[in-house]
Chains A and B, each alone.
Chain A
C-alpha cells in the first residue's frame, strides 16, 4: 500500500527490515512481518502484558507502540534469552518452580522477570509482585512465578 514505509530494526541480534503502515502495531509487525511469534497477543490494549518485549533496553508493551516508532530500534523478545540451545537461568527457574502451564503469558513474564532482577538485586516478595504486576496469568495463581523469580534473583546475584 502507498502508505507503507520501511521499518528497520535489530531483533534478537539480527538486522531486519520490513514494511508497515503507520497504524500497524509493533506487536503485529513483530509477529507477522518478522515471524517473532513468541510475542503473544492477549488484550491488545496495554493491560495484560502478554506482548511484553524489550525496546532499546526498556521493558515495553509491544501493543502500545506503532511499528513505525521502532524504526532504528533494538528489540529483544524472549528468544534473546536462549544461549546456544541452553535455557537461561530465569527460564530454568520457571521450569523448576512450575511457573507456567499453558505458557501464553510466559514470554512476557520471563522478560519482566529478567528486567526485575537486573534492576533490583535482592527483591522482596512485594517488590517481585509489584514489578511483575503488568503481566497477567490465568493458569498458575502466580505463586510459582514469584518463587521462580526469587530463585532467579538469588541465582544471578550469587545468593544462597
Chain B
C-alpha cells in the first residue's frame, strides 16, 4: 500500500513547530527520523490528516555533557553511538548499537524511539535504568516527566498531542557504575524478544552498593525489577548464587508478554538468563559498559 493523503509542513524552528502543534496536533503526526512513522503511514496503520516534519530543528540535535548529560531529541542513533565520556553515555551508545541496522540508525532519533514506545525498544529501557528525565514542550508549557512515569503502555506515553519531546536529561552518577545490555532476537536487528539492562555499583570487595535491573520486551513497557535490585544491594556479587537469584527474581516478577514471536514463558525465562549474563558481564568488564 501507499500512504493516504495528508497535509505536510516542514517547521523551520521549535517555536513554529509548537505553534503548529497547538493548532493541528490533535490530527497530526510528528515526523523526525521516520523509521517507524513512514512505514505506519505506508501501511495505513496511522492516518493523520497532517504531518509535521521537524528535521529542520537543528537546535534539538545538540548534546550537552556538563552536570549530567542532556541529549537533544533529534539526536540520531548513529550519533548516540559515538558518546563515551561517562558510563551513562556509554550505556546509551551500547543500547543504540542494538537498534536495527545502519540505515535505520542514520535517521532514527532518540526522541522518536521514546515517542513510539515500542515495548522492546532499547532506548526507553536504558532511560529507565539511568533515572532519566524527559523534557516536553508545548507552545505554552515546558515540563519534565521522569522516564519511569512516561511509558504507560505499548505505544502509549505521557506525551500530549500538542507537545514535542525536546530533550532527555541523564543525571550524573559516581563513576564506579558498571552497565551491561543483553538482548535476544531471532535475527540481528529484530526487536528483542527479551532485553535486560543492568547497572551495578560495587566496592573493592564486590559488595553491591546500588543496582538497576530493567527488563524490556517482556511486558507492555520496560520496567525496573525492584525485587532483583533490592536483592543485589548489600550482597557479594562474586557469589554465583547471588547472581542466579537475581535472574530468578526477574523471571518471577516481570509481567510477561505473549505474541506470535515468542510465548510468555520463554520470554520470562530468557529474561532471567540475560540478567545473569549481564551481571557477569558487568563484573568481568574492564571498561564501564559491555
Contact = CB atoms under 8 A, between A and B. Distances in A.
Interface in A1-48: 3, 21-25, 28, 44-46
Given A25-B42, A59-B102, A61-B104, A133 B6 contact: no
Interface string A48-87: 0100100000111101111011000000000000000000
B42 A63 contact: yes
Contacts of A133: 101, 187-189
Among B102, B103, B104, B187, find the residue whose CB has the most chain A CB atoms closer than 10 A: B103
B3 A134 contact: no
B55 interface: yes
Contacts of B34: 64-66, 69
Contact of A3 (B5, B35, B39, B101): B5
A115 interface: yes
Nearest to A126: B188
Contacts of B253: none
B101 A69 contact: no
Size bin of chain A's contact surface: 20 to 34
Given A61-B103, A133-B187, A28 B2 contact: yes
Contacts of A24: 2
A11 to B, nearest CB: 18
Given A25-B3, A134-B189, A45 B42 contact: yes
B102 to A, nearest CB: 5
A25 B31 CA distance: 14
Given A25-B2, A64-B39, A58 B106 contact: yes
B134 interface: no
A131 interface: yes
A69 B32 CA distance: 11
B67 interface: no
Interface in B220-253: none
Interface residues of B, number: 31
B38 A63 contact: yes
Among B1, B7, B39, find the residue whose CB has the most chain A CB atoms closer than 10 A: B39
Contacts of B8: 22-23, 66, 68
Nearest to A59: B103
B290 interface: no
A129 interface: yes
A52 B107 CA distance: 13
B62 interface: no
A64 B103 CA distance: 10
B51 interface: yes
Interface in B53-107: 53, 55, 78, 100-104, 106-107
Given A23-B5, A45-B43, A69-B55, A115 B102 contact: yes
Interface of A: 3, 21-25, 28, 44-46, 49, 52, 58-61, 63-66, 68-69, 112, 115-116, 129-134
